[in-house]
């Protein structure tokens, strides 16, 4: 029970030094009527052996990507994590340290943050990156909040209907109570139609939020959308997939103002949804509006290069109600993991992962079409695609998949009733040809269209 | 001993052609060229110019970097308000079990019965510890929990047809309180604290009106004191129809001793990365579960776990919920560690956490107050705020000097210059997972510093890998990414 040091003798010595007779006396500053008169109603303490057994029992009640072939995506992906990532991030000097407020004894974390920021800039082609936010959805809302202030247009944002529905829900949760309209560009098949989107951009609009590749895995016409927004003084926030940048044009090259992403794919485990890694990078003009921590390079005594937390006058601990954001933490450990991951992959490794995902996803899509499923449209896609069940019963297929050891895809009906017969299928570099063939077999078994 | 490669940057270590991770060929029939799969203008001419390194490069680089940090595993870290306690190794291993770590958030519920049961039980445990029975594990950090709770309160008032626009917080509050209030659409208003660090009731009365939505209080306060008037503050705020939010940053002082729900709070967040031993990870991730009263429960964010006849499930029938404030369920990896921590301690052990934390803090206070006075009294909860003002007058040694000199003695610095209400502060929180020997050694270091040549102390730290970083230039001419010379 617990991780305490003090022996009965220690406690007696310490109480004497304090000048009280008992530990209870130390709590007398709490009015008696506010103190608990019963023990907490919690389960009894467990030793490490007992706790381990308990946790193993709970863990055994879950299926997971280690014992079930995972074709699920929708914002979290079963990418391969090299051993080096886990080994290095498990060093106590990293994971048991605090925010680097004392730079002299935090150069490891500060330099790692600076490395992360540099890698994210190299990855995205954007000018600057912060040291990370909570996750992809919160990075998106923070990007939008930056645009609202920068554009001095607080009343309206436009978001593509092909942005991850969870991200859109988060935008609504934050913005609608503030009286800010969240206008959704309806999806046209599996992408948005540029003309429709442009027709929704008005002089009250602060920004357009797009996802590319989008929630359905498909490419949007980003350049045309950026051009239309630029003409109207509207900012563009792009949600991107960091793995896709091994092949696809970078957000910086596409001309967007703020690029945000879920960084889970960069060496972070699935963890039932978190903690993950919110990536936020932007053009230099937005630097002082960024939320969250930022590491900066400077020099110390002897002209020695070193790193500190910088631009802190943006932050809540200095500016309080005038801060650019209420965000206090970054995801230090997960940003570190992403930095290690990207430095292991390098340009060639990232390209290989992206190409592997693309090829395997396209092979899977072809096999499923052969099996009688239909794609939602014919837009170019990256590692994820939507297919419709000819029998209209994807829940049945999900159940059958589980019996055959497969998580076959994410059902889309609860977010979009028009897609009640659809599955979103993601294929990472970990999937083998045999696994994809098995997916096609399972899904083909009932295919009326075969 | 120091490896000179350690402080070079990845891009400086890079050499074209070096490789670490390699991937097998896709090995699929009928491969088409990529330019048939993607429009030409969607493809990059080349992959991003990331550094090119060999695997041993990466390992040596980051291992060497790690040695430049202080950490709980290596040093005493008496950082007030941050609760830098021991991070149990068993929790790391158990949170890494494949049935915990490799679970996809969009799996069917039938495949999630273990993790959902854990989260359901954690909801109940946090409800019990807080005395506030409705729990959302969803928010990603303490500040995010504040924001989610304020949004929950706003939805509650909207539903009741009440227009309330103001959030109050004491001047000693964490900066996140007023910042969260503004993001949630409220006006943030400061209430004074009195000489004892408690809420100034007269100032409270002056600022209370029918537009007050929430009073945010940190209790025990950031001065490490239990506000004896907390029930009276709650009574006055409630009388005007407002709600009390408790910033749970200091829960390590009162586990099993007093419950926020019993002393008037309607809403609170926990910082599991503080109170329940989640590792701080160099500044995150944390988690920010929130607990609220029955009346506010329907408005909590989604998702929440319930138990049904068929097992554990996400509650789909919450029409009044504010919705999601982030993607997926929550920071489950951190929550699993909190669950392990709570099960390791049990009810008696959890109370003992606070007893030992308060004992350690009071012992430190008693030993050092003759040289570093504690303006707010002879007793504290889990932390206290000492003042170096007197020492600055007599010997010219400031709080910052002491903080920096402690680094030379191998101790992490206390929190300095917070709360903003006390001049020249050192905020010291030892936690329960430190020994009397460590506390004694820390006191000895403090005593020696106060007697040292002030010039030596001003020059501190003298033994760290870097000294006197130029923070002004860093902010004035920001260099926030690697760039080649002249670019």
Query: Taking a C-beta distance cutoff of 8 angstroms, is the pair A333, A94 a contact?
Result: yes
The torsion of the CA quartet B446, B451, B456, B458, rounded to 10 degrees, works out to 60
Query: Taking a C-beta distance cutoff of 8 angstroms, is the pair B193, B200 a contact?
Result: yes
Shortest alpha-carbon distance between residue A126 and chain B (Å): 11
Inform me whether the pLDDT recorded for B256 exceeds 90: yes
d(C-alpha B200, C-alpha A80), whole Å:
56
Query: Taking a C-beta distance cutoff of 8 angstroms, is the pair A116, A301 a contact?
Result: no
Helix A107-124 / helix A332-370 crossing angle, nearest 10 deg: 30
The answer to the question of residue B14 being in a domain is: yes
The torsion of the CA quartet B197, B141, B353, B437, rounded to 10 degrees, works out to -80
**pLDDT score recorded for residue B2:** 61
Shortest alpha-carbon distance between residue A386 and chain B (Å): 15
Name every chain A residue with its beta carbon within 8 A of the beta carbon of B77: 98
Total residue count of chain A as it appears in this document: 450
By C-alpha distance, the chain B residue nearest A87 is B59
Contact B435 A6 (CB under 8 A): yes
d(C-alpha B478, C-alpha A298), whole Å:
8
Shortest alpha-carbon distance between residue B229 and chain A (Å): 9
- Nearest CA to A384 out of A342, A351, A426 is that of A426
d(C-alpha A164, C-alpha A138), whole Å:
12
- Average of per-residue pLDDT across B402-409: 97
**pLDDT score recorded for residue B5:** 57
Q: Which of A322-336, B161-175, B442-456 has the lowest mean pLDDT?
A: A322-336
Q: Indicate which of A12, A23, A42, A222 best probes the interface with B, i.e. most B CBs within 10 Å of its own CB.
A: A42
Query: Taking a C-beta distance cutoff of 8 angstroms, is the pair B393, B295 a contact?
Result: no
Residues of chain A below pLDDT 70: 445-450
pLDDT-derived band at B6 (thresholds 50, 70, 90) equals: low
Q: Give the end of a domain, one of B344, B375, B406.
A: B344
The DSSP code sequence of B35-71 is HHHS-GGGB-SS--------HHHHHHHHHHHHTTB--
Domain count, chain B: 3
Contact A398 B9 (CB under 8 A): no
Contact B48 A173 (CB under 8 A): no
**pLDDT score recorded for residue B482:** 95
B203 with B145, same domain? yes
**pLDDT score recorded for residue A440:** 97
CB burial string A412-422: b at 16+ within 10 A, e below: beebeeebbbb
Residues ≥6 apart with Cβ < 8 Å to A278: A132, A133, A134, A135, A136, A137, A138, A139, A142, A260, A261, A262, A263, A331
Other beta carbons within 10 angstroms of residue A269's beta carbon come to: 25
Take residue A387 and report the two structure tokens written for it: 């297919």
* Nearest Cβ partner for B101 among A5, A269, A310: A269
d(C-alpha A150, C-alpha A146), whole Å:
6
The answer to the question of residue B75 being in a domain is: no
B49 with B192, same domain? no
Which CATH number do you get for residue B375?
A: 3.90.1150.10
pLDDT-derived band at B396 (thresholds 50, 70, 90) equals: very high
d(C-alpha B138, C-alpha B122), whole Å:
12
B32 with B129, same domain? no
Question: Would you give the end-to-end CA distance of chain A in angstroms?
Answer: 61
Contact B7 A128 (CB under 8 A): no
pLDDT-derived band at B31 (thresholds 50, 70, 90) equals: confident
**pLDDT score recorded for residue A450:** 44
Q: Indicate which of B61, B281, B468 best probes the interface with A, i.e. most A CBs within 10 Å of its own CB.
A: B281
The answer to the question of residue B486 being in a domain is: no
Q: Which one of 3.90.1150.10, 3.40.50.720, 3.40.50.1860, 3.40.50.2000 gives the CATH number of domain A69-80+347-444?
A: 3.90.1150.10
Name every chain B residue with its beta carbon within 8 A of the beta carbon of A325: 179, 183
CATH of domain A83-342: 3.40.640.10
**pLDDT score recorded for residue B216:** 97
* Nearest Cβ partner for A76 among B105, B356, B412: B105
Shortest alpha-carbon distance between residue B390 and chain A (Å): 22
B390 with B290, same domain? no
B265 with B218, same domain? yes
Contact A45 B473 (CB under 8 A): no
Burial degree of B30 (CB within 10 A; 0-12, 13-18, 19+): exposed
B157 with B178, same domain? yes
Contact B58 A340 (CB under 8 A): yes
By C-alpha distance, the chain A residue nearest B352 is A2
Q: What is the pLDDT of residues B282-327, one digit of tens each?
A: 999 999 999 999 999 999 999 999 999 999 999 999 999 999 999 9
Each domain of chain A, given as residue ranges in start order, spans: 8-48, 69-80+347-444, 83-342
Q: Give the end of a domain, one of B329, B344, B359.
A: B344
Residues ≥6 apart with Cβ < 8 Å to B7: A107, A111, A305
Contact A107 B129 (CB under 8 A): no
Name every chain A residue with its beta carbon within 8 A of the beta carbon of B110: 402
B234 with B109, same domain? yes
Contact B332 A27 (CB under 8 A): no
Average pLDDT, chain B: 95
B283 with B419, same domain? no
B188 with B322, same domain? yes
Name every chain B residue with its beta carbon within 8 A of the beta carbon of A117: 480-481
* Nearest Cβ partner for B256 among A36, A96, A270: A36
Q: Which domain holds residue B407?
A: 350-472
Write down the residue that tokens 């158990």 correspond to: B94
d(C-alpha A47, C-alpha A268), whole Å:
30
* Nearest Cβ partner for A332 among B284, B466, B469: B284
Give, as one character, the DSSP assignment of residue A106. Answer: B
The answer to the question of residue B81 being in a domain is: no
Name every chain A residue with its beta carbon within 8 A of the beta carbon of B473: 298-299
B173 with B291, same domain? yes
d(C-alpha B414, C-alpha B406), whole Å:
9
Specify the pairing of strand A69-70 against strand A258-262: unpaired
* Nearest Cβ partner for A298 among B360, B436, B470: B470
* Nearest Cβ partner for A333 among B85, B282, B464: B282
What percentage of chain B has pLDDT greater than the value 90? 91
The answer to the question of residue B478 being in a domain is: no
Compute φ and ψ for B429, nearest 5 degrees: -130, 105
B157 with B248, same domain? yes
Contact A92 B19 (CB under 8 A): no
The DSSP code sequence of A306-318 is EEEE--GGGSHHH
Predicted complex ipTM: 0.97
A69-80+347-444 and A83-342, same CATH topology = no
* Nearest Cβ partner for A96 among B280, B322, B352: B280
Name every chain B residue with its beta carbon within 8 A of the beta carbon of A346: 18-21, 50-53
**pLDDT score recorded for residue B420:** 74
B367 with B312, same domain? no
Inform me whether the pLDDT recorded for B141 exceeds 90: yes
HSE at residue B293, side-chain half, CA atoms within 13 A, is 15
What percentage of chain B has pLDDT greater than the value 70? 98
User: Global pTM?
Assistant: 0.97
**pLDDT score recorded for residue B486:** 43
* Nearest Cβ partner for A115 among B9, B41, B180: B9
d(C-alpha B228, C-alpha B220), whole Å:
10
Take residue A158 and report the two structure tokens written for it: 């436009």
Query: Taking a C-beta distance cutoff of 8 angstroms, is the pair A382, A244 a contact?
Result: yes
Extract long-range pairs of A49-56: CB within 8 Å, 24+ residues apart: A51/B90, A51/B94, A51/B340, A51/B343, A51/B344, A52/B90, A52/B93, A52/B94, A54/B343, A55/B94, A55/B97, A55/B100, A55/B340, A56/B97
Query: Taking a C-beta distance cutoff of 8 angstroms, is the pair A26, B362 a contact?
Result: yes
Inform me whether the pLDDT recorded for B421 exceeds 90: no
Burial degree of A157 (CB within 10 A; 0-12, 13-18, 19+): buried
pLDDT-derived band at B459 (thresholds 50, 70, 90) equals: very high
Helix B332-368 / helix B113-130 crossing angle, nearest 10 deg: 30
């Amino acid at each position: 029970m617990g991780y305490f040091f003090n022996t009965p003798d220690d406690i007696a010595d310490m109480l004497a030094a304090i000048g009280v007779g008992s530990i209870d006396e130390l709590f007398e500053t709490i009015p008696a009527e506010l103190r608990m008169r019963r023990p907490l109603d919690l389960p009894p303490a467990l030793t490490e052996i007992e706790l381990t057994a308990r946790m193993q029992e709970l863990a055994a009640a879950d299926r997971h990507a280690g014992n079930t072939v995972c074709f699920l995506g929708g914002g979290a992906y079963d990418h391969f994590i090299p051993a080096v990532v886990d080994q290095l991030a498990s060093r106590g000097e990293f994971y048991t340290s605090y925010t680097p407020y004392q730079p002299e004894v935090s150069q490891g974390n500060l330099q790692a943050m600076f490395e992360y920021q540099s890698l994210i800039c190299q990855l995205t082609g954007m000018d600057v990156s912060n040291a990370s936010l909570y996750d992809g959805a919160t990075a998106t809302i923070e990007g939008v909040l930056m645009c609202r202030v920068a554009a001095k247009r607080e009343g309206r944002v436009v978001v593509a209907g092909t942005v991850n529905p969870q991200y859109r829900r988060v935008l609504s949760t934050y913005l609608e109570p503030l009286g800010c309209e969240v206008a959704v560009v309806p999806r046209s098949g599996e992408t948005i139609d540029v003309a429709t989107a442009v027709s929704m951009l008005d002089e009250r609009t602060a920004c357009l939020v797009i996802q590319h590749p989008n929630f359905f895995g498909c490419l949007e016409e980003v350049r045309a959308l950026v051009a239309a927004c630029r003409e109207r003084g509207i900012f563009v926030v792009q949600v991107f997939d960091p793995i896709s940048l091994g092949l696809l044009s970078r957000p910086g090259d596409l001309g967007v103002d703020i690029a945000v992403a879920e960084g889970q794919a960069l060496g972070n485990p699935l963890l039932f949804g978190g903690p993950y890694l919110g990536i936020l990078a932007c053009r230099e003009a937005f630097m002082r509006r960024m939320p969250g921590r930022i590491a900066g390079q400077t020099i110390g005594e002897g002209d020695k290069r070193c790193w500190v937390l910088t631009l802190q006058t943006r932050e809540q601990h200095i500016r309080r109600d005038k801060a650019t954001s209420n965000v206090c933490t970054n995801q230090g450990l997960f940003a570190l993991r992403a930095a290690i991951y990207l430095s292991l992959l390098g340009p060639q490794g990232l390209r290989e992962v992206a190409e592997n995902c693309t090829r395997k996803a396209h092979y899977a899509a072809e096999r499923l079409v052969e099996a009688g499923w239909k794609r939602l449209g014919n837009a170019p896609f990256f590692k994820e695609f939507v297919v419709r069940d000819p029998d209209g019963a994807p829940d049945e297929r999900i159940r059958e998949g589980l019996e055959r050891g497969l998580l076959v895809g994410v059902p889309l009906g609860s977010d979009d009733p028009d897609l009640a017969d659809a599955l979103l299928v993601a294929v990472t570099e970990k999937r083998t040809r045999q696994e994809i063939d098995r997916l096609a077999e399972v899904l083909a078994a009932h295919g009326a269209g075969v | 001993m120091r490896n000179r490669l350690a402080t070079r940057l990845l891009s400086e270590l890079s050499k074209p052609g070096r490789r670490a991770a390699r991937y097998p060929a896709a090995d699929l029939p009928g491969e088409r060229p990529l330019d048939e799969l993607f429009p030409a203008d969607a493809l990059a001419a080349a992959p991003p110019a990331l550094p090119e390194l060999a695997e041993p490069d990466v390992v040596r680089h980051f291992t060497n970097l790690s040695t430049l940090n202080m950490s709980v595993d290596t040093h005493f870290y008496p950082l007030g308000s941050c609760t830098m306690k021991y991070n149990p190794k068993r929790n790391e291993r158990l949170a890494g079990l494949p049935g915990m770590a490799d679970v996809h958030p969009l799996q069917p519920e039938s495949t999630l019965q273990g993790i959902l049961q854990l989260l359901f039980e954690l909801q109940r445990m946090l409800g019990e510890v807080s005395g506030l029975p409705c729990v959302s594990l969803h928010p990603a950090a303490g500040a995010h929990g504040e924001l989610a709770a304020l949004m929950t309160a706003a939805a509650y008032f909207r539903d009741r047809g009440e227009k309330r626009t103001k959030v109050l917080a004491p001047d000693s509050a964490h900066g996140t309180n007023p910042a969260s209030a503004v993001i949630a659409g409220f006006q943030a208003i400061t209430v004074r604290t009195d000489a004892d660090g408690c809420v100034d009731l007269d100032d409270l009365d002056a600022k209370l009106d029918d537009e007050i939505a929430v009073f945010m209080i940190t209790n025990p306060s950031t001065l490490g004191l239990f506000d004896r008037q907390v029930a009276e503050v709650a009574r006055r705020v409630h009388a005007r129809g407002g709600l009390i939010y408790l910033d749970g940053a200091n829960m390590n002082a009162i586990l099993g001793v007093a419950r926020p729900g019993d002393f008037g709070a309607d809403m609170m967040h926990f910082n599991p990365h503080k109170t329940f031993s989640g590792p701080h990870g160099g500044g995150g991730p944390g988690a920010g579960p929130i607990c609220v009263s029955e009346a506010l429960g329907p408005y909590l964010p989604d998702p929440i776990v319930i138990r049904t006849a068929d097992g554990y499930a996400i509650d789909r029938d919450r029409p009044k919920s504010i919705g999601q404030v982030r993607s997926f369920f929550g920071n489950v990896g951190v929550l699993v560690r909190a669950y392990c921590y709570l099960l390791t301690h049990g009810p008696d052990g959890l109370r003992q956490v606070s007893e030992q934390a308060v004992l350690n803090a009071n012992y430190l206070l008693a030993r050092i107050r003759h040289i570093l006075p504690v303006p707010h009294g002879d007793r504290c909860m889990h932390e206290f705020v000492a003042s170096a003002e007197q020492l600055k007058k007599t010997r010219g040694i400031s709080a910052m000097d002491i903080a920096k000199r402690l680094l030379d003695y191998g101790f992490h610095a206390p929190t300095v210059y917070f709360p903003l209400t006390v001049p020249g502060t050192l905020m010291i929180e030892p936690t329960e997972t430190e020994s009397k020997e460590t506390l004694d050694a820390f006191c000895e270091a403090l005593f020696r510093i106060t007697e040292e040549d002030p010039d030596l102390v001003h020059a501190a730290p003298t033994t760290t890998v870097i000294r006197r970083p130029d923070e002004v230039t860093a902010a004035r001419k920001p260099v926030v990414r690697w760039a080649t010379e002249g670019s």
